[in-house]
């Protein structure tokens, strides 16, 4: 059996303060998840990433290069700065 190796950069994102928000206001927490998803899905695709899965408020994605992962993460942070529903990152 032939095996091949492939390098990958893994990115995991997380919404800051999501657990607290969920305990305070479930409706708002779900809006945050929806906004977060709508921001990240197209950016992950634009930077040649693959959306692996969503784990509550976290997103797991794979990229072929570290630079694609880093540029995607920066674009996500910048995009989130312009969306009041998404809590700021620290």
* Domains in the chain with CATH codes: 15-81 (3.30.70.1230)
Q: What does the pLDDT read at residue 87?
A: 66
Residues of the chain with pLDDT > 90, as a percent, come to: 54
Q: What does the pLDDT read at residue 5?
A: 85
| 8 Å CB contact between 18 and 90 | no
Whether residue 12 has pLDDT greater than 90: yes
Q: Which residues contact 46 (CB under 8 A, 6 or more apart)?
A: 72, 75
The string of pLDDT tens digits covering residues 13-49 is 988 888 888 899 999 889 889 988 999 999 999 999 9
Whether residue 62 has pLDDT greater than 90: yes
């Amino acid at each position: 059996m032939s095996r091949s190796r492939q390098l990958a950069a893994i990115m995991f994102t997380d919404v800051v303060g999501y657990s607290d928000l969920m305990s305070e206001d479930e409706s708002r927490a779900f809006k945050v998840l929806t906004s977060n998803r709508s921001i990240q899905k197209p950016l992950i695709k634009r930077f040649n990433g693959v959306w692996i899965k969503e784990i509550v408020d976290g997103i797991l994605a794979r990229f072929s290069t570290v630079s694609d992962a880093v540029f995607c993460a920066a674009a996500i942070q910048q995009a989130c700065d312009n969306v009041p529903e998404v809590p700021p990152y620290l």
